[in-house]
Amino acid sequence: MKRFAAFLLALLFFVSGCTGITESQLPTPEKEEQPGTEPSEPESDEPEEPEEEAAPADEQLPPAGSADRLYLPETAAKEIRFPDDEAVYVAYAVNDERAGKVRGADPHPVTESKRVEALPELGYRFVRWSDGSTDPVRMDTADTVAENTVFTAIFDYDVLDMPIVAIDTETGRDVTSKTEFIGAKFRLCAAEDPREEFESEIQIRGRGNNAWGYSKKPYKLRFPVKVNPLGIAEKKDKVWVLLANVSDQSMLRNKVCYDLSRGLDGIAFAPASRSVEVYLNGKYHGVYLLAEEIRDSEARVVIDTAACETDTDIGYLVEMSSYASVDRFTAASRPYMVHSDLSSDAKIKKKQMQYIEDFITKCYAVLKTGERAEIEKLMDLDSLVDTYLVEEFGKNFDTGHDSYYLYKEKGGKLFFGPIWDFDLTLGNADLSGNAASYEGLFTALTLGADGGNPWYYTPMKFEWFRKMVADRWNEVKETVFKTMPEDVRKEGAAGNRSYSRNFERWAILGTRQHSEPKIIQSFRSYKQHYEYLAEWSENRYAWLDKLFNAPDFLTMKLSLGGTADEADYADDLARAAFAEKKDFVTAVRITDVDYDVEGYNNENGENLFDGVVNSKYCFPCEGTCEIEFTFGEAVSPTQYAFQTANDTANYSERNAKHWKIFGSNDGKNWDELARVDDGRTRLKAVNFTWFVFDFDRTGTYTHYKIQFRNDNQIVQFGGFALLG
């Protein structure tokens, strides 16, 4: 008897089908960065790498996605042992077990004439059998098989409308950390130009705040050398991101807003991006946006941090973010964090943090004066206007509390941008004000943490700034904003099959992932999503164009539609107190705000001191709750005031019942200055109203503290003032 062992011996490389750029064509790696850490060296210190000459394209190469152009190995090493008898057996294998399977694959005698079928997984396609047959169903018999034989089903990526990014982690499992990088292999395949296809070792970790909480995770990629995938950017860089866009089911809002920004020369850097289909450890993972990350580098935000170990007047890249944690500071009553290099010396780093905090605080204080000449000494108004137009066009829900970037040049001005995080825009959010409607201003209005941005609503009070906005709009509207809806339709239609397949992997169509309005929740096809986005943008364009060109735009009162632009006063005495006395909260810099209870939906303690009528501190008060704040210099108030919130008329029980106010000069020893146990009698059920009180004891202090007690109920106030 004969004993046969069939071996599929064609061991191919990891990306045998990617016939474009090879590892030898990539630039020589620079010094390795340690896994698990962010790059520490300033990108500006790295030598510029010479541009590599692309390899000539093979004119005979089949197009991406054709049956003759494979990206997975055509065969795989596999051993199948047949029974040791005289019968002739047939068995079946696959070239990649992650790509598909064969129903009825086990060895069986050909006399059984068993029906078998090659079944691809989602995101893959059956190409052919190893004997050339292209029918996924086969039934081999003694008439066609003379000896023990293994037929291999050849599967490949199902290339539809987009390039393919395949990532295989060293663990073989999904990425679980937002802070620690792990090793992985990266492949870029199915590019229109085969010279753009390549493979590389990379480091990968998770990223994002709210986005990290979804099953479809966003990722940060770090290459060993600078790359420019698909040639989408102007320069190469080591760091790229894959955005999941779960809360935007059009998956286009970030891309089109980045593209808007790229059309405005007042914004020095705007991310380049391209939609791709991602496979993670062999499993189809859906459509992602491959994009440039905002960071300090020669290819992104160019600032000078070369002297970061010793100097304070260096370049700074900062983000306004309610999620700010590391390298966090508060300026103009908003939390910020630094994203560029700081000194490794703790004392120098502390001075640097104070420097950028003071600089941004000063910028905002000058902005509030409306003195254009003084403002232009500190801030770049072109970037302020251009970023405003993009944020306002999209009605960006996040703009007032997260992902809002600014940067300061060494020895120079404060610049605004780059823009980032636009999934909750363009009619895709209904959580605040009129965000889902294409009508109305949004970022220019004082909506508080969930809408308005103080860098925009503050200058919009002045006619000269509104004229800058109107003039710039009319200059760029035809070439930048008016064309956007058509760009949406083209991208949506061209990628429709791939975008639609994303929802086979992630069955979220018609569900509320974040704050989608009801109309979006009713959509049952991808086409409905991109058509809605295009139509909403057309309507938004028409509304803004009419507003910015209205005869009275420069002087009209900006209204929130039923809410207050300015707070009222409880009585004439309260009005006189504000008119005749200085409010130290607005006149003297507050250096720190600390509180022991987080507010609801970012309605935190800083809002008591931001000068914004429609923001508030709203929090659950169980037992005694405290908020402490510190001035840059000692102040001597004789009165204090609380402003009621936006809905106190409906929720008067949120007026605090008990409070105490304390003063200190060391933050340790406190003097009691006021005590109230009948707060709900003194405060009324009215919105946006200042109530003024005398101190029981006065003095001069740098530290102040308010204690609230409300019998385990919610407390809310719109503002706090110290008058003297």
Using one digit for the tens of pLDDT, what is the confidence trace for 340-369?
A: 999 999 999 999 999 999 999 999 989 988
- For residue 622, the model assigns a pLDDT of 87
Q: Are residue 644 and residue 679 in the same domain, yes or no?
A: yes
- For residue 4, the model assigns a pLDDT of 34
Residues 6+ apart with CB under 8 A from 80: 5, 6, 91, 93, 107, 150
Span of 14-28, 82-96, 204-218 with lowest mean pLDDT: 14-28
Is pLDDT of 576 > 60?
A: yes
Q: Answer whether the bond into residue 459 is a cis peptide, omega within 30°.
A: no
- For residue 532, the model assigns a pLDDT of 97
Q: Which two tokens stand for residue 584?
A: 């130290």
Q: What pairing do the DSSP bridges indicate for beta strands 404-408 and 414-416? A: antiparallel
Q: Which two tokens stand for residue 173?
A: 């499992």
Span of 139-143, 484-488, 704-708 with lowest mean pLDDT: 139-143
- State the sign of the Cα–Cα–Cα–Cα dihedral 634, 635, 640, 646: negative
613 Cα distance to chain centroid: 28
**Comparing 617 with 560, which gets the higher pLDDT?**
617
Q: Are residue 182 and residue 287 in the same domain, yes or no?
A: yes
Instruction: Return mean pLDDT, the chain.
Output: 88
Is pLDDT of 3 > 60?
A: no
Q: Which residues pair with 128 in a beta bridge?
A: 154
Is pLDDT of 614 > 90?
A: no
Buried b (16+ CB within 10 A) or exposed e, 573-605: ebeebbeebebbbbebbbbebebebebeebbbb
Q: What is the DSSP string of 92-132?
A: EEES-TTTEEEET-S-EEGGG---EEEEEPTTEEEEEETTS
Q: How many CB atoms lie under 10 A from the CB of residue 274?
A: 18
pLDDT band at 64 (very low <50, low <70, confident <90, very high): low
Residue type, 692: V
pLDDT band at 74 (very low <50, low <70, confident <90, very high): confident
- For residue 233, the model assigns a pLDDT of 97
Q: How many CB atoms lie under 10 A from the CB of residue 230?
A: 18
Last residue of a domain, one of 127, 157, 187: 157
CA nearest 334: which of 414, 400, 422? Answer: 400
Span of 449-463, 553-567, 637-651 with lowest mean pLDDT: 553-567
Average pLDDT over residues 12-41: 36
- For residue 433, the model assigns a pLDDT of 64
Question: Is the residue at 329 inside a domain?
Answer: yes
d(CA 291, CA 232): 9
- For residue 650, the model assigns a pLDDT of 87
Q: Are residue 648 and residue 633 in the same domain, yes or no?
A: yes
Span of 69-73, 178-182, 314-318 with lowest mean pLDDT: 69-73
Q: Are residue 341 and residue 447 in the same domain, yes or no?
A: yes
d(CA 149, CA 21): 37
Average pLDDT over residues 29-39: 35
Question: Is the residue at 306 inside a domain?
Answer: no
Q: How many structural domains does the chain have?
A: 4
Q: How many CB atoms lie under 10 A from the CB of residue 106?
A: 11
Tens digits of residue pLDDT in 392-448: 999 998 888 889 999 999 999 999 999 999 999 999 998 766 788 999 899 988 765
Q: Are residue 266 and residue 332 in the same domain, yes or no?
A: no
Question: Is the residue at 3 inside a domain?
Answer: no
d(CA 346, CA 42): 19
Residue 257 structural domain? 40-62+161-292
**C-beta of residue 15 within 8 angstroms of C-beta of residue 199:** yes
**H helices then E strands: how many in the chain?**
13, 32
Give the CATH number, domain containing residue 633. Answer: 2.60.120.260
Is pLDDT of 54 > 80?
A: no
Q: Are residue 585 and residue 684 in the same domain, yes or no?
A: yes
Q: Which two tokens stand for residue 131?
A: 């004997």
Separation of first and last alpha carbons in the chain? 108
Question: Is the residue at 521 inside a domain?
Answer: yes
pTM greater than the 0.95 cutoff: no
Last residue of a domain, one of 111, 130, 157: 157
d(CA 233, CA 259): 12
- For residue 603, the model assigns a pLDDT of 84
Q: Which residues pair with 184 in a beta bridge?
A: 169, 202
Q: Are residue 715 and residue 628 in the same domain, yes or no?
A: yes
Is pLDDT of 19 > 90?
A: no
Question: Is the residue at 301 inside a domain?
Answer: no
* DSSP 8-class letter at 301: B
Question: Is the residue at 533 inside a domain?
Answer: yes
Q: Are residue 153 and residue 179 in the same domain, yes or no?
A: no
- For residue 50, the model assigns a pLDDT of 44
Span of 159-168, 520-529, 634-643, 649-658 with lowest mean pLDDT: 649-658
Last residue of a domain, one of 292, 307, 325: 292
Q: At what angle do helices 253-262 and 484-494 cross, to 10 degrees?
A: 130
Tens digits of residue pLDDT in 231-287: 999 999 999 999 999 999 999 999 999 999 999 999 999 999 999 999 999 999 999
Q: What are phi and psi of 639, to 5 degrees?
A: -140, 165
Average pLDDT over residues 555-561: 62
Q: What are phi and psi of 127, to 5 degrees?
A: -100, -55
CA nearest 194: which of 292, 284, 62, 52? Answer: 62
**Which CA distances in Å does 453 have to 8, 251, 442, 565, 620?**
63, 25, 9, 14, 26
Question: Is the residue at 18 inside a domain?
Answer: no
Q: Are residue 130 and residue 172 in the same domain, yes or no?
A: no
d(CA 135, CA 121): 17
- For residue 555, the model assigns a pLDDT of 87
Question: Is the residue at 297 inside a domain?
Answer: no
d(CA 288, CA 167): 13
State the burial class of residue 513 (Cβ atoms within 10 Å of its Cβ: 0-12, 13-18, 19+).
Answer: middle
CA nearest 188: which of 201, 203, 198? Answer: 198
pLDDT band at 627 (very low <50, low <70, confident <90, very high): very high
Q: Are residue 214 and residue 117 in the same domain, yes or no?
A: no
716: left (phi over 0), alpha (psi -120 to 50) or beta: beta
Q: Are residue 103 and residue 185 in the same domain, yes or no?
A: no
Is pLDDT of 163 > 90?
A: yes
pLDDT band at 40 (very low <50, low <70, confident <90, very high): very low
Buried b (16+ CB within 10 A) or exposed e, 369-384: eeeeeebeebbbbbbb
Is pLDDT of 49 > 60?
A: no
Q: Are residue 490 and residue 354 in the same domain, yes or no?
A: yes
**Comparing 5 with 612, which gets the higher pLDDT?**
612
